[in-house]
C-alpha cells in the first residue's frame, strides 16, 4: 500500500512525542511502520543507524526490512536496526558485556536445555517431582514469569501467594547460579539483563537514549513487563517513539503478554497521542460487523470500529453438525466443491481451531478426498535431534563452560560413558568449581573414574580444544565444521541409528540445511564482528528455521492451524471449527474466568477471512468411548443477526433469485473446470 489514508498519514508524520497507533486487524500497520521509517530518514534527516524498530518474529522483521529497502535506496538505509526483541537484546549484551557477569563466549540455552537443567537441579537438591515432566514444566513457567516480571531470585519470596511456591523460588536461585556458572543465558535473559543494566546504570542508559533517536515497536499488545520496561528505559523522557498494536488481538497472556501495557503507556507518558486505524483492507463488512459485535463485549481502554470499502459480502454462515466426524466431513467436502465451482487454488482456504487435537479427524477426511493440506505447528527445525546435536558441538566449542551441551554430545555418538562415570565426572567438576569439559583434562580425573574412561574423556577434550583453535582462527569456518562432524563419527552414527534409508536421508538433509544456513548467515553479515562463527551460532539460536522452510515449500495446500498460529495471516475462505463452550471459549478459561482473552481469540479468527467465513459446531463430541452433548459457544449469541446465516436463530435469508443465479453460475463454472481437465 503505497498510498496512505488520512489516519495512516497522520501516524507517519507524528514524530514529536509518544505515539500509540491503535491498528485494527487488516488496517495496514506494516505499511505505516515502514513508510514512517522512510519518512524519518528522508524528511526528518535522522540517520538510519539511529533508528531502531522491534517486533516479535523473524518473519515480521525480515518483511519490514525488505519493504524499507524498497522505499529507501542504497547507503542511506545502512545501519538501520530492524529486529526481534531478543535479537536486539543479544546485540545489547555484546556491546555492554563488561556490565554483566558473562564472558564473551557465552551460550544461549533453549527451552529444552532449561528443562533439563531444572530437572537435574531438582534431583541434585532432592526436590520431589523431578521425574515428572509436568512438575518441571510448572517450574519452567514460574521462573520465566518471575524473570519477565523483573523479579530477582532474592525478591521472589516477598511476592508469593502460595506457600508451595517456596520450592520453585528456591529452584529459581539455583537455576540462576548455574546459568552463570555455565556462562550461559536463557531466552528470557536476552530481555531481562538489558532492562536491568539500563535501569541500574545511569551511564549506559544515557548512552543508549542518546544513541537511539527514534524507536518503533510492532505488535505492542504482546509485550510483557520486561519488554515494556526495556522500551521505557530506551526512550527516556524525550519519548521519541511509536508503538503499534491492537488490544483486541492480545492473545498471548499464557506466555506473559500484558494488554494492560496499553494503559501503562497513558500513565507513564501523559502526553501520549493515540491514532486509530479503523479502515480494514482485508475483509468484507459483514465479516467486520461480526468481529466488531463480538469484541464489543470486552472492556476497552480504547474503542474502535473496523470498516471496509469492500461491500457487504456474503453472510457469515453458522453450521450445526451432528458430531465431530460430520463436522470434519462437512468442511472437507465444502472446500472440495467450492474450489471446483470457483476455480480457486487450495491455499485460498484455511481451517482454524482452538486446539491441535481438533485437526486429527479433519486430516483423515482431507486425505480420503485427496485434498492436499499443510498442518502448521510441526516440529521446529531446532527441536530435531540431529540439529540439536550438531549445534551442541558448536556451542561447546564456543563456550567450554556449557555443561548442558557437553552432556548432550559426550555420548553422541556412543563413547562408552555410563551414568555412573558421568556422575563421578560431575562430582569432580563440582569439587574444583570447573566445567565438565575442564574436568576431562583435570589431573585427578584418572583417580576419580579409572584409566580407560579418563583416556576417552581426555581425548574428547583435546578434540574440542583443537577445533576451538581452528575455528576461531579461520576466516572460512564451514569446511572445518563439516570436517569436525565427520571426525566425531556422528554422520556414521546417523546411518546406523536411522530406522530406514528415508529417515537417514531426512536427518542428513537437515544437517546439510543447518550447514547452509550457517554459511548464508556468514555471507550476509554486514560487518566483520557479525561474520564470526561465534556471532553466527548465537544468531542461529534465535532464528525460527521452520518459518523459513515453510515459505520455501509448495504452499498450494489447504491451511490447517490453531487460532493462535493464525494471527497475522489472512485467507480468502476461512472455516472455524468447534465453536462450542469448553472448546472456544476453552474450559480452562471458563473455570478461571478469563473469557476476555478467548473472545479476543475469536475476534482474531473472524478477522482472518477476506471473502467468506464459516463457523461450525457439533451437537455432541466423543469423550473416550462415549459421546457428550455440547453447548454452542456464547460467542455465537454475540454475532449480529442481520449479517449471519444461522438457521437455528431464524436469521437472515438470501434472496431466492440471487441463490438461483449463484447456483447456475456454479454449474457453469464446474462444467468449465471439467472441460479444462
What residues are annotated to the active site?
29-30, 218-219, 249, 608
Spatial separation of the C-alpha atoms in residues 456 and 434, rounded to whole Å: 19
Alpha carbons within 13 angstroms on the beta-carbon side of residue 357 total 6
Neighbours of 619 (CB within 10 A): 16
Best CA proximity match to 213, nearest among 11, 16, 29: 16
Spatial separation of the C-alpha atoms in residues 310 and 610, rounded to whole Å: 10
Contacts of 197 (CB under 8 A, 6+ apart): 92, 96, 99, 100, 204
Range 437-440 contact pairs with CB under 8 angstroms and sequence separation of 24 or more: 437/396, 437/400, 437/401, 437/403, 437/406, 437/461, 437/464, 438/400, 438/401
Spatial separation of the C-alpha atoms in residues 184 and 100, rounded to whole Å: 11
Cell output for 7: 489516519
Neighbours of 567 (CB within 10 A): 20
Integer Rg of the chain from CA:
28
φ, ψ of residue 583 to 5 degrees: the values are: -110, -55
Best CA proximity match to 335, nearest among 604, 621, 581, 616: 616
CA-to-CA dists, residue 579 to 364, 559, 589, angstroms = 20, 18, 14
Spatial separation of the C-alpha atoms in residues 628 and 630, rounded to whole Å: 6
Q: Any bridge partners for residue 316, and if so which?
A: 644
Contacts of 347 (CB under 8 A, 6+ apart): 555, 556, 557, 558, 559, 571
Spatial separation of the C-alpha atoms in residues 464 and 487, rounded to whole Å: 11
Cell output for 284: 468484507
CB 598 within 8 A of CB 589: yes
CB 241 within 8 A of CB 18: yes
Using the 8-state DSSP alphabet, how is residue 4 labeled?
P
Best CA proximity match to 14, nearest among 272, 370, 394: 272
Percent of residues in the chain assigned helix, strand, coil, to nearest 5: 60, 15, 30
Q: Rounded to the nearest 10 degrees, what angle do helices 225-235 and 189-200 cross at?
A: 40
CB 571 within 8 A of CB 345: no
CB 485 within 8 A of CB 360: no
φ, ψ of residue 191 to 5 degrees: the values are: -100, -45
**CA angle 410–412–414, rounded 5-degree value:** 90
Amino acid at each position: 500500500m503505497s498510498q496512505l489514508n488520512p489516519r495512516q498519514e497522520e501516524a507517519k508524520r507524528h514524530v514529536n512525542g509518544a505515539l500509540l497507533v491503535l491498528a485494527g486487524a487488516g488496517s495496514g500497520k506494516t505499511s505505516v511502520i515502514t513508510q514512517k521509517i522512510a519518512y524519518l530518514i528522508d524528511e526528518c534527516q535522522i540517520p538510519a543507524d539511529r533508528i531502531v524498530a522491534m517486533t516479535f518474529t523473524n518473519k515480521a522483521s525480515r518483511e519490514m526490512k525488505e519493504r524499507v529497502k524498497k522505499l529507501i535506496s542504497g547507503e542511506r538505509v545502512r545501519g538501520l536496526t530492524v529486529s526481534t526483541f531478543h535479537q536486539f537484546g543479544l546485540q545489547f549484551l555484546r556491546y555492554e558485556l563488561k556490565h554483566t557477569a558473562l564472558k564473551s563466549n557465552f551460550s544461549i540455552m533453549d527451552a529444552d536445555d532449561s528443562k533439563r537443567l531444572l530437572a537435574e537441579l531438582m534431583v541434585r537438591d532432592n526436590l520431589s517431582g523431578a521425574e515428572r515432566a509436568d512438575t518441571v514444566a510448572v517450574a519452567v513457567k514460574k521462573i520465566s514469569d518471575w524473570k519477565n516480571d523483573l523479579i530477582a531470585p532474592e525478591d521472589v519470596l516477598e511476592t508469593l501467594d502460595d506457600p508451595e511456591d517456596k520450592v520453585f523460588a528456591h529452584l529459581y536461585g539455583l537455576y540462576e547460579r548455574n546459568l552463570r556458572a555455565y556462562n550461559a543465558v536463557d531466552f528470557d535473559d536476552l530481555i531481562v539483563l538489558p532492562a536491568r543494566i539500563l535501569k541500574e546504570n545511569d551511564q549506559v542508559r544515557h548512552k543508549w537514549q542518546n544513541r537511539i533517536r527514534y524507536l518503533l515497536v510492532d505488535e505492542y499488545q504482546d509485550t510483557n513487563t520486561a519488554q515494556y520496561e526495556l522500551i521505557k528505559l530506551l526512550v527516556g523522557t524525550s519519548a521519541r517513539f511509536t508503538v503499534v498494536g491492537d488490544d483486541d488481538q492480545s492473545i498471548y497472556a499464557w506466555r506473559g503478554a500484558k494488554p494492560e501495557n496499553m494503559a501503562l503507556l497513558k500513565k507513564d507518558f501523559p502526553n501520549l497521542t493515540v491514532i486509530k486505524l479503523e479502515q480494514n483492507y482485508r475483509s468484507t463488512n459483514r465479516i467486520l460487523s461480526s468481529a466488531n459485535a463480538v469484541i464489543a463485549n470486552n472492556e476497552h481502554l480504547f474503542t474502535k470500529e473496523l470498516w471496509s470499502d469492500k461491500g457487504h459480502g456474503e453472510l457469515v454462515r453458522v453450521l450445526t453438525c451432528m458430531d465431530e466426524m460430520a463436522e470434519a466431513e462437512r468442511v472437507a467436502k465444502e472446500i472440495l466443491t467450492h474450489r471446483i465451482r470457483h476455480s480457486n487454488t487450495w491455499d485460498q482456504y484455511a481451517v482454524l481451531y482452538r486446539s491441535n487435537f481438533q485437526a486429527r479427524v479433519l486430516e483423515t477426511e482431507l486425505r480420503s478426498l485427496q485434498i492436499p493440506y499443510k498442518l502448521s505447528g510441526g516440529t521446529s527445525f531446532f527441536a530435531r535431534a540431529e540439529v540439536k546435536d550438531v549445534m551442541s558441538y558448536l556451542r561447546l566449542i564456543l563456550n567450554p563452560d556449557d555443561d548442558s551441551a557437553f552432556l548432550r554430545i559426550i555420548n553422541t555418538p556412543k563413547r562408552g560413558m555410563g551414568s555412573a562415570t558421568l556422575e563421578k565426572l560431575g562430582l569432580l567438576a563440582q569439587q574444583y568449581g570447573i566445567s565438565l569439559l575442564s574436568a576431562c583434562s583435570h589431573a585427578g580425573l584418572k583417580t576419580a573414574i579409572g584409566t580407560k574412561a579418563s583416556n576417552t574423556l581426555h581425548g574428547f577434550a583435546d578434540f574440542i580444544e583443537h577445533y576451538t583453535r581452528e575455528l576461531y582462527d579461520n576466516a572460512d569456518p564451514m569446511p572445518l565444521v563439516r570436517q569436525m562432524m565427520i571426525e566425531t563419527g556422528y554422520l556414521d552414527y546417523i546411518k546406523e541409528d536411522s530406522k530406514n534409508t528415508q529417515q537417514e536421508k531426512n536427518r542428513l538433509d537437515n544437517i546439510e540445511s543447518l550447514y547452509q544456513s550457517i554459511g548464508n548467515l556468514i555471507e550476509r553479515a554486514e560487518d566483520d564482528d557479525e561474520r564470526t562463527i561465534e556471532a553466527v551460532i548465537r544468531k542461529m539460536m534465535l532464528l525460527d528455521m521452520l518459518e523459513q522452510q515453510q515459505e520455501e515449500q509448495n504452499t498450494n495446500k489447504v491451511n490447517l492451524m490453531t487460532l493462535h498460529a493464525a494471527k497475522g495471516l489472512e485467507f480468502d475462505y476461512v472455516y472455524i471449527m468447534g465453536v462450542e463452550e469448553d472448546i472456544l471459549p476453552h474450559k480452562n478459561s471458563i473455570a478461571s474466568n478469563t473469557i476476555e482473552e478467548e473472545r479476543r481469540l475469536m475476534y482474531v479468527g473472524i478477522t482472518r477471512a477476506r471473502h467468506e467465513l464459516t463457523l461450525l459446531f457439533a451437537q455432541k463430541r466423543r469423550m473416550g468411548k462415549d459421546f457428550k452433548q455440547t453447548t454452542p459457544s456464547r460467542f455465537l449469541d454475540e454475532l449480529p443477526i442481520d449479517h449471519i446465516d444461522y438457521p437455528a436463530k431464524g436469521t437472515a435469508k438470501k434472496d431466492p433469485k440471487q441463490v438461483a443465479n449463484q447456483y447456475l453460475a456454479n454449474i457453469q463454472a464446474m462444467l468449465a473446470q471439467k472441460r479444462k481437465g
